[in-house]
Structure 1
Amino acid sequence: MRPVLVECVPNFSEGRRPEVVAAIAQSIGRVPGVHVLDIESDEDHHRCVVTYVGPLEPVLEAAFAGVQEAVRRIDLRTHQGSHPRIGAADVVPLVPIRGITLEELVPAARRLGERIARELGVPVFLYGEAATSPRRRDLSFLRRGNFEGLQAAMDGDPERRPDFGPPTVHPTAGGTVVGVRPALIAYNVELGTDDVEVARAIARRVREAGGGLVNVRAIGVKLERRGTTQISMNLLDYRKTPIYRAFELVAAEARRYGVEIRSSQVVGLVPEDALVECAEYYLRLDATWSRRQILERRLMELEAAEAERRPTDPAPGAEPSAG
């Protein structure tokens, strides 16, 4: 049986100080058994995303280490960015990759959240599959009001009180959201306008809550340093809503305002199948096409078959077993 593999994709509220981003990533990568696969940061969003994988317990230890480093180094009282956030370590999602289910990860998320609250004094909220009420499954609900409005939200709404720790905002690190979710795609489309109200109007029509695409979360944000705006999306299930469909709807809504698309961006890692779907759509590949025509896939199949046929070599210096 192949070992359990878990992905974690923590988002931190720092995208302008490379040394802080590096320190957070290094604190994660130092945990034995953990492999950091990707580090993304954005100055306008003032945010970084670290993607790493490993067995369950090392992944939890690395998540705590990353949150601890963020709490030590990030002060949200002086933080301004275009992306919503309530915490220095804003959200810490656990994602099942192999040998473990969403449901089986929920107790792990609870253990991690309880430890963060107990040892770091940061209030923790559970979301996604780990949420303790239907409304709290949605990350946007827990982020409403941002860091600046978090204390008032906790004081005024029982649904906004933390699952772990006292209902008091950490003075510099805010709160942290910990949860369990399937793999998603973070996908942004940059618009040829600096009018953020246009971007927000487009985002409203694209996201599921506004009658747009199923399993899509979208916001319109201003990119001050680039002098433009962006539709920032999470595609929660690319099999139901592929990347090309999200792109085409953004483009169609933008045309209503006479706005062109400048570029698009994948944040972090993306499943290969999601990009192949885009190629199939835009190239209009016919029924003779098969994904087994992808060279790298066939080579991987060949290498796997050869590895299975290859006899196991004895350890160096080992005596052959008696016949």
Structure 2
Amino acid sequence: MNAESIIECVPNFSEGMDEEKVRAIVASMKVDGVRLLDWSRDATHNRSVVTIAGSPDAVVESAVRGVGKAAQLIDLTQQSGVHPRIGAADVVPFVPVSGISVAECAMLARQAGLQIWRRYGVPVYFYGAAATRPDRVQLEDVRRGQFEGLREAALRDAMRRPDVGGPELHSKAGASAVGARSFLIAYNLYIQHPGSNGSGQAPILPQQTEIASARAIARDIRDLRVSNGGLQGVKAIGVMANGRAQISMNITDYQLTPMGQVHAAVSTIARRHGVEVSDGELIGLIPEAAFEPDSDWVRQTLGFNAEEKVLERKLHRPMEWPVS
């Protein structure tokens, strides 16, 4: 780590319907030395994603404050959504951008976790490079059972207890998964039946059939992930979003499996299931090295603007912090 080190943090909050709550959470994260690069609110998944970057200590402080505000405003006992979650501030990943390593980000994640518990009483699970146990490296293993299941499991099973705090989860805010990782790209592709009217509402197939196709495609992607030469580092689930069938993916190693390869593979798999890819969306930002101008995936990504979606470019043109 050096004086010019820059890290990114992409906290995910379990609220996407109430804009004022999300705005208040983002506003609480304003800290000197931190740039707000992106924030989005997804009512369908009932989830919001914020992207910040800056000096390591400042970004840690910003993220911790966001977790505290989320714990104050979000009640998981009254919340539901498509996306898996264990906490009001569900996941808080720290990502190296320049002048710093993943291992150093893991140390920062541990510091953040301790502050989250000490200040706000929200227990923490460490995952990714910050994991203290091999069975917590994968985020999906940490989130098994979601808030409702984990709330019970943490009390009866010592192996499910938080790394910091607990054993009880916070009564309303649950727990937060805090970690360190390399760059992750959140990429969604919608599918439709050939001959659809273009809105994704295909008159030929009922929604039950479309979501079944989406889940089958996601299963094939996961099968490819574990086979030689397959979609390494690509996690996928099939969901309904905005009344349309969607393949929701996390690309954890875009250098090993570039975006163009992911789009081509999903398109091929979709055709085998009698459907086609219609359009895509990016949640958050992508690194410059993942951007492939004039590629099919860029053309099919709704509203794609490289100046707004590429991290290195956005660092020079950050957003204004919202006012709560």
Matches within 5 A, 1:104-115: 104-115=104-115
Q: From 218, 231, 234, give the equivalent of 1:213.
A: 231
Q: Distance in 2 between matches of 1:99 and 1:10?
A: 21
Q: Deviations over 1:109-155 (max 9, x none)?
A: 11110111122111100000000112211001111111111123323
Aligned counterpart, 1:125 = 125
Name the structure, 1 or 2, with higher relative contact order (CA <8 Å, separation 6+): 2
Q: Distance in 1 between matches of 2:66 and 2:32?
A: 14
Aligned counterpart, 2:26 = 25
Aligned residues of 1:222 and 1:230 also touching (Cα < 8 A) = yes
Please report the TM-score for the alignment, with normalisation by the length of structure 1: 0.82
Q: Distance in 2 between matches of 1:161 and 1:75?
A: 21
Aligned counterpart, 1:320 = none
Matches within 5 A, 1:51-130: 51-130=51-130
Q: CA deviation at 1:98?
A: 1.2
Aligned residues of 2:189 and 2:248 also touching (Cα < 8 A) = yes
Q: Distance in 2 between matches of 1:103 and 1:186?
A: 22
Unaligned runs of 5+ in 1: 284-299, 301-323
Q: CA deviation at 1:2?
A: 6.2
What residue identity is the alignment partner of 1:239? Q
Q: From 228, 235, 246, give the equivalent of 2:262.
A: 246
Computing the radius of gyration over CA atoms, which structure comes out larger, 1 or 2? Answer: 1
What residue identity is the alignment partner of 2:234? V
* Corresponding position: 1:271 with 2:282: no
Aligned counterpart, 2:213 = 198
Q: Distance in 2 between matches of 1:228 and 1:136?
A: 32
Pair 141,10 (structure 1): closer, same or farther in 2 beyond 3 Å = same
Aligned counterpart, 1:309 = none
Q: CA deviation at 1:281?
A: 9.6
Select between 51-60 and 197-206 the one with higher mean Cα deviation: 197-206
What residue identity is the alignment partner of 1:205? D
Aligned residues of 2:182 and 2:252 also touching (Cα < 8 A) = yes
Structure 1 residue ranges (4+ consecutive) displaced by more than 6 angstroms after TM superposition: 280-283
Question: Which structure has greater helix proportion?
Answer: 1
Q: CA deviation at 1:254?
A: 1.7
Aligned residues of 2:188 and 2:249 also touching (Cα < 8 A) = yes
Q: Secondary structure at the match of 2:265?
A: helix
Q: Secondary structure at the match of 1:222?
A: strand
What residue identity is the alignment partner of 1:198? S
Please report the TM-score for the alignment, with normalisation by the length of structure 2: 0.81
What residue identity is the alignment partner of 1:138? Q
Pair 261,280 (structure 1): closer, same or farther in 2 beyond 3 Å = closer
Aligned residues of 1:244 and 1:278 also touching (Cα < 8 A) = no
Aligned residues of 1:242 and 1:277 also touching (Cα < 8 A) = no
Select between 170-179 and 268-277 the one with higher mean Cα deviation: 268-277
Q: Secondary structure at the match of 2:295?
A: helix
Q: Secondary structure at the match of 1:201?
A: helix
Q: From 243, 246, 252, give the equivalent of 1:227.
A: 243
What residue identity is the alignment partner of 1:89? A
Q: Distance in 2 between matches of 1:132 and 1:260?
A: 42
Pair 281,55 (structure 1): closer, same or farther in 2 beyond 3 Å = closer
Aligned counterpart, 2:169 = 169
Two-structure CA RMSD over aligned residues (Å) = 2.2
Q: Deviations over 1:139-173 (max 9, x none)?
A: 01111111111123323544322110011121111
Aligned counterpart, 2:307 = none
Unaligned runs of 5+ in 2: 194-206, 300-311, 313-324
